A and B are shown apart, each in its own frame.
Chain A
Amino acid sequence: MATEAVARKRSAGHRLADLFHGRPRLQVGALLAGPIGWLVIGYLGSLAVLLIAAFWTVDPLSGEIVRGLSIENFETLFNEPVYRDIIGRTVRIAAQVTLTDAVLAFPIAFYMAKLASRRGKAILIVAVLLPLWSSYLVKVYSWRTMLSTDGVLNWALAPFGLHGPGFGDTAVWLVMSYLWLPYMILPIYAGLERIPDSLISASEDLGASPFTTFRRVILPLVFPAVVAGSIFTFSLTLGDYITPRLVSNDQFIGNVVFNNIVNNLPFASALALVPIVVMIAYLLVARKLGAFEHI
């Protein structure tokens, strides 16, 4: 009986296999049904809900959500100076972090791509890759201890008569630059790897100084990769609310979204659209600059 069941099962499998045989469209459909269902209906669907919820309001008396079509949330966002400041501060820090990371990442990426030995390169890749992937919260927490009054930073600077920045915008800028640095190193490294050494040699043979070679040959070729890295540094800064919560008392977009999620979900939704709009604009510019080939 058991063998009979196996035989029947196998034949069912065979029959299904026969059904798919020579029908590529059916195969694609079967492969994509799950992923598309999840990502389009599930994920894009919830982004659509987010967009719709931004037009809802909260009844001030009952606290109930009114599912209407009101632009009240957007008026608040644009007219209240508090929120304008918060959006401005978040975007400004995102830009600062991006610039800082580009400057810090370049020498490391350049060394990895053009000067390190094979083995040195392999070690450096792992050294940059591991922290990119792990322990986001632990790293922010560690900076919180380092920046505190009794922390490492003040201890290390005290002999020079200096002290650390303490908590605030500078701390957020520093910690975020730290957090997203590997996201900038890897694309720049990949971009530099693509530049043939012969191009650099040619520039040198023609009498260019290292600085001229950098400015006229390397930089224009690697710029799209820098923009690719900046997509991550910019986007991650816009959406982070844990870092400001731990090393600053100032509000960022993420903090306001989080604080409103329970009591004023429509307003939180409207504010969450701001990073989306900023990122879409950023991505459009990045595509123009040729960054998409480097992601």
Chain B
Amino acid sequence: MRLSRRSALLLRLAVGVGLAFIYIPLIVIAIYAFNASNILKWPPPGLTLDWFPKAIENELARDAFLTSLKAGAAATAIALLLGTLASLAVARHRFFGRETISFLVILPIALPGIVTGVAISNTFTQVLGVDLGLFTVIVGHATFCIVVVYNNVVARLRRVSTSFEEASADLGAHTWQTFRFVTFPSLRTALVAGGLLAFALSFDEIIVTTFTIGAGEETLPIWIFRNLFRPNQLPIVNVVAVLVVLISIVPVYLAHRLTREEGGAATGRGGAVEAEATAVP
């Protein structure tokens, strides 16, 4: 497109302002993690590394971190299993109601978090008589993580031709052998990417978590949330916040690298369109 120099410059400026808008809050919190004062006043009077060992030594934060890891790992495992099964059915078979599967899978993330949270907590406490705890958190997280694995694996299955699987069957391999030696190897990176994103999503989630977690437990985001209102804890909160950003950004970046040929990780939320975009020549 031909743009006058002035409009091209203005557009570039708008992009710069937009990116600054996106990143400034993350930079601000990163600077506060090194704040020499324990009061959040801008600009910080000086910088220090003191809060890092204090944050790492904090028992409750460490427990919360472990709880988050457990919840994330379990939710990811369930999402990997269910997401892969659903994607194999949709991408490799024709059946009545096939189009509804993608809608069903995306629903838990398309509906507002409070809806999913209240619905799941309601069902456990009122209908099934199950007390809220780590288990109910895992169920909630797994439900909205399925879409991430599903989208990644479906995108991959659509790229890999079925003729390899047919050849394998023609050469006498049975169903498992074909899956084990032909389908699975071609899915490997998509599964890793889907798993990483599911983990990141679970690790970062707070809204569904607040509705499904038991009284005695906290995930890392819940720990942060509860300590936000205690001024003397804020220096530690800032450090934990920076660690959370790093822990959730790394898997997303890796997943993006792994699925670059499909135009980046198909995410289920806004990101799914990206895979679509590159699929169109």
- CA–CA, A116 to B155, complex, Å? 26
Whether A181 lies near B114 (C-beta < 8 A) is no
> Which residues on the A side are within 8 Å of B4 (C-beta)?
210
Residues of chain A in range 224-245 having any CB-CB distance to chain B below 8 Å: 225, 228-229, 231-232, 235-236, 238-242
Q: Could you tell me how many residues of chain B have their Cβ less than 8 Å away from some Cβ of chain A? A: 100
The stretch from B159-167, B183-191, B220-228 touching chain A is B220-228
Overall SS of chain A's interface: helix
Partner of B28, one of A124, A142, A241: A142
- CA–CA, A246 to B25, complex, Å? 15
Partner of A254, one of B3, B114, B237, B265: B114
Q: Could you tell me how many residues of chain A have their Cβ less than 8 Å away from some Cβ of chain B? A: 108
Whether A138 lies near B119 (C-beta < 8 A) is no
A109-121, CB under 8 A of B: which get 1 and which 0? 0110011000000
Q: How far is the CB of B41 from chain A (nearest CB, A)?
A: 4
Partner of A152, one of B28, B119, B267, B280: B28
> Which residues on the B side are within 8 Å of A89 (C-beta)?
none
Query: Which residue on B lies nearest to A145, using beta carbons?
Result: B40
Whether B118 lies near A27 (C-beta < 8 A) is no
Whether A235 lies near B3 (C-beta < 8 A) is no
> Which residues on the B side are within 8 Å of A40 (C-beta)?
104
B24-50, CB under 8 A of A: which get 1 and which 0? 111011001000000111110000000
Whether B273 lies near A50 (C-beta < 8 A) is no
Q: How far is the CB of B240 from chain A (nearest CB, A)?
A: 9
- CA–CA, A111 to B256, complex, Å? 21
Q: How far is the CB of B38 from chain A (nearest CB, A)?
A: 13
B246-278, CB under 8 A of A: which get 1 and which 0? 001100110010000000110101111110110
Q: How far is the CB of B239 from chain A (nearest CB, A)?
A: 11
Whether B146 lies near A115 (C-beta < 8 A) is no
> Which residues on the A side are within 8 Å of B277 (C-beta)?
189-190, 193-194
Whether A135 lies near B245 (C-beta < 8 A) is yes
Partner of B114, one of A131, A246, A257: A257
> Which residues on the A side are within 8 Å of B66 (C-beta)?
none
> Which residues on the A side are within 8 Å of B176 (C-beta)?
13, 16-17
A62-95, CB under 8 A of B: which get 1 and which 0? 0001000000000000000000000000000000
Whether B88 lies near A269 (C-beta < 8 A) is no
Q: How far is the CB of A37 from chain B (nearest CB, A)?
A: 9
Residues of chain A in range 39-66 having any CB-CB distance to chain B below 8 Å: 39-40, 42-47, 49-50, 53, 65
- CA–CA, A126 to B42, complex, Å? 29
> Which residues on the A side are within 8 Å of B201 (C-beta)?
133
> Which residues on the B side are within 8 Å of A154 (C-beta)?
42
> Which residues on the A side are within 8 Å of B29 (C-beta)?
138, 141-142, 145
- CA–CA, A194 to B253, complex, Å? 25
- Known contacts A14-B174, A38-B146, A272-B114: does B126 contact A178 (CB below 8 Å)? no
Besides A111-B15, A115-B8, A129-B274, 4 new A-B residue pairs in contact (Cβ under 8 A), listed by A number = A46-B123, A134-B249, A258-B210, A258-B211
Q: Which residues of B contact A (CB under 8 A)?
A: 1-4, 7-8, 11-12, 14-15, 18-19, 21-26, 28-29, 32, 39-43, 78, 81-83, 85-86, 88-89, 93, 95, 101, 104-108, 110-116, 118-123, 126-127, 139, 142-143, 146, 174-177, 197, 200-201, 204-207, 210-211, 221, 224-225, 228, 237, 241-242, 244-245, 248-249, 252-253, 256, 264-265, 267, 269-274, 276-277, 280
